[in-house]
Structure formats: C-alpha cells, structure tokens
Structure 1
Amino acid sequence: MPVTTQPLAEAKRRAALDHVLTAARRYVIENGIDATMDQLAEASGVSRRTLFRLFGTREKLIAHAFQAAMTHYLQSLPTFRGDVDRWLRTTCAAAHRMNAAIGPGYWELSARADLPSELAALQVSTRHDWQHRIAAISAILWQEHGHAGDPPGTLLTTVGAHLSSHFTAAVITDAGRDWQTASALAYTAISGTLRTQASAADGPSP
C-alpha cells in the first residue's frame, strides 16, 4: 500500500504557521490581548504584511492562536482508564500545571466583557468546550461512585471551579503558592464534594 507523504512546501508552510501561532500566543500570554500587529510581527519574526496576509486581522490571529492552544489543552487532560481516584489526582495535576503556563493573557481573554467580535466568539466557544469537558469529568466521577444519571449541580460547580485557570491564578497570585498546591486543593475539594453528594443520593442507612 503506498504511503502518502506531505509535500515539502506544504510541510514548510504548516511549520511556519505553527511558529507564528505559538509566538503570537506566547506574546499575548505575557503581555495581554491588546498587543498590536507590529508587536506580534516582531515576536513571531515575520512582517506585519505577512500576518495580515495569513490572518486578515489582529483579532483573527489571536483567536487562531488560542483556539489551537485550547484544543491541545483538552487533548492533554488524562483519559480515564479505570482507577478513578488516581485519574482525578492526575487530572487535577495536569489541569493546574497547564493553567500555570497559560498566564495573564489567557485569564484576561477568558474574563473580559469588551472583546472584539472574533475574540468574543472565541471566548464563548472556549467556555462551551470547557463546560463540556467539566460535565464529562463530573459524569465519570459520579458513575464510578456508583450512581446513574446526571451528576448533581454542586459536583459540576465544584469540578468546574477547582480546575479553572482562575483558581490556579488565585492560588499563585493571591496566596503566593504554586500550581502543585492548587492541584492538591482541587483534589481535596472535588473528592470531598463527591463523597458528600454521593452520601446524600444514597439516603440514610437503614
């Protein structure tokens, strides 16, 4: 069976595009989403004209950069393979380790209410993808704890809040601790809420 290979020119174009997206994302993460096209061009090592040719607008460039990062983020969360407690611990660790690397640019992107349309659309779609993943994580925890049906809202809220990048930011910036502390606190909060909600669903012992 013949092996299909990517043409060299296309491979080079893809590598160059990935470089631009990575450089732009890093600059925005460190400096905020009001970065100019000139600044993004300098950070990525290409001309301003090239960036406009590739993406059309500054907002589309930033949106493409962060959409790629979100896809990678979600794919990097561990897959459940049978040991629910170990999986929860590794999920908390993976989420907060990546959250710590996201930086203030992402926190700003996820929280600001005055974003241009392309970035506002990214904010909505990112929030939707994240809520979908939180629902999936909560459902696994609930089912593996012996309960059918949808997980309770309190569990969903606890998982979402304690895996959020804003929780990581609060632990690091306000409490002066590290992402490992955020991970440990998240695990304790989520596992405690799971036990409480499961006990309430089971009802009083006969």
Structure 2
Amino acid sequence: MRSDAAQNRAKVLAAAQRLIAQSGVGVSTEEIAKAAGVGIGTVFRHFPTKEALVSEVFKASMAAFVDEGRALLDLPDPREALFTLLRRSAKLSSAKHAHAGALAAAGISVDEAVAEGRAELPELLATLLARAQAAGTVRPDVGVQELTALMIAAGHAAKHAPRAVDLILDGLKAGSPRLNR
C-alpha cells in the first residue's frame, strides 16, 4: 500500500473510532469521511462496506485494549495495574456491546473479529492477577475465569451504577471476606 493510501486508511479508521465512540454505530460513512478529511470513495476503497469498517474499528479497539493492558505491566503497583485494566474494561463495555451488536446484525462473526485480541486477554489477565496476588494485594482465591466474569459484570454494572465497579474491585482486595465455594 502506498504511503498516502496508508495514511488515508489510518485517518478513516481514527475518525471512525472517534465518531463511533461518540455517537454509536449509527454514524454515517459520510460523516466519517468528512471527519477524516477524505472523500467517501476513499472510505469505500479501504472498507468496502460499513460493516467492514465497524469490524476493523472493533478489532482495533480490542488490540488497543490488550496493548494498554501490556503497558500496565510496567506499573510498580500490581494491584493498581490490574484494577486499571478492569476499570478500563468496564468503561469501554457499552461501546464494545454496540460494536458487537452492529457486527452481529450485519452477519459478521464477532468471535472472528476479536479472535486475536481475545486469545491474548486471558494470558494478560493471568499475568496481572498473579503479580497482584504475589504482592499480597489481591485475594488469593480468585482465578482468571472468575476475574473474567467480574469484568463482564463490572461492564454491565457501570451502565447502571458506576460505583458498582468500585464495589466489585473492593471485593478483590486482599483481606476481603472469602466466599464458600
């Protein structure tokens, strides 16, 4: 791909990410083209359908989330690293659901769209969780499967009661009462 074509594709993708995050998947391709500073033909040259563009935005969002998670490995406080990722996940939840709904409505497999990022996420969560548990700051009786379920729950809770995310995180702190299994 020529460098100008690659730049235009990146502009379209960035504009689509921004506008979809602001207005949802109902944003028009014309609005995206205008925000990117390109013509509508350029949008469709890179993304033959709006669904293809939404799919790419979804993939890019998942990849960015995983990249952000990897960067958290450098934080000195392992619990804060884990909790930052969980808060970010909850914050992005409604946008992820909107993207997934648009893809499903268009007949695009959501699982295929996020397969790469989803494959890396459990390992990243396991690493962040193990570091926080080794530091003694997160309860030792929580596993990745439970953490994943809590991420999903936090995402749903954030829509209705943002404070619920903090309550979920408080329950993960070391010293929190243990539940019977």
Q: Same fold (TM over 0.5)?
A: yes
Counterpart residue number, 1:87: 78
- Can you list the C-alpha shifts for 1:115-167, whole angstroms capped at 9, x where unaligned? 4344522145544443343344344455x279xxxx97x52233213344x62
Q: Does 1:54 align with 2:46?
A: yes
Counterpart residue number, 1:5: none
Counterpart residue number, 1:204: none
Number of residue pairs aligned between Structure 1 and Structure 2: 174
**Equivalent of residue 161 in structure 2, options 165, 168, 175:** 175
Q: What is the CA–CA distance in structure 2 between the aligned matches of 1:115 and 1:124, rounded to whole Å?
A: 18
How do 1:115-154 residues align onto structure 2 when only pairs under 5 Å count? 115-118=105-108, 120=110, 121-141=112-132, 144=134
Counterpart residue number, 2:146: 158
Counterpart residue number, 1:3: none
Residues 112/14 of structure 1: CA separation in 2 closer, same or farther (3 Å cut)? closer
- Can you list the C-alpha shifts for 1:39-83, whole angstroms capped at 9, x where unaligned? 3323333222111111222222222223222222212121167x6
Gaps of 5+ in 1: 1-8, 201-206
The residue type paired with residue 16 of structure 2 is A
SS at match of 2:104: coil
RMSD: 3.8
Residues 114/76 of structure 1: CA separation in 2 closer, same or farther (3 Å cut)? closer
Is residue 162–residue 186 contact of structure 1 (8 Å, CA) maintained in 2?
A: yes
Q: What is the CA–CA distance in structure 2 between the aligned matches of 1:72 and 1:65, rounded to whole Å?
A: 10
The residue type paired with residue 108 of structure 1 is A
Is residue 125–residue 144 contact of structure 2 (8 Å, CA) maintained in 1?
A: yes
Gaps of 5+ in 2: none
Is residue 86–residue 151 contact of structure 2 (8 Å, CA) maintained in 1?
A: yes
**Equivalent of residue 105 in structure 1, options 95, 108, 115:** 95
Residues 194/46 of structure 1: CA separation in 2 closer, same or farther (3 Å cut)? farther
Residues 20/36 of structure 1: CA separation in 2 closer, same or farther (3 Å cut)? same
SS at match of 2:173: helix
- Please report how far the alpha carbon of residue 22 of structure 1 lies from its aligned counterpart in structure 2 after TM superposition: 1.3
Q: Does 1:75 align with 2:67?
A: yes
Q: What is the CA–CA distance in structure 2 between the aligned matches of 1:127 and 1:38, rounded to whole Å?
A: 31
Is residue 95–residue 163 contact of structure 1 (8 Å, CA) maintained in 2?
A: yes
Q: What is the CA–CA distance in structure 1 between the aligned matches of 2:53 and 2:143, rounded to whole Å?
A: 36
Identity of aligned residues (%): 18
Which structure is larger by alpha-carbon Rg, 1 or 2?
Answer: 1
Counterpart residue number, 1:33: 25
- Please report how far the alpha carbon of residue 104 of structure 1 lies from its aligned counterpart in structure 2 after TM superposition: 3.4
Is residue 58–residue 114 contact of structure 2 (8 Å, CA) maintained in 1?
A: no
- Can you list the C-alpha shifts for 1:68-115, whole angstroms capped at 9, x where unaligned? 22222212121167x6xx212232124424653x37332322467834
**Equivalent of residue 15 in structure 2, options 5, 20, 23:** 23
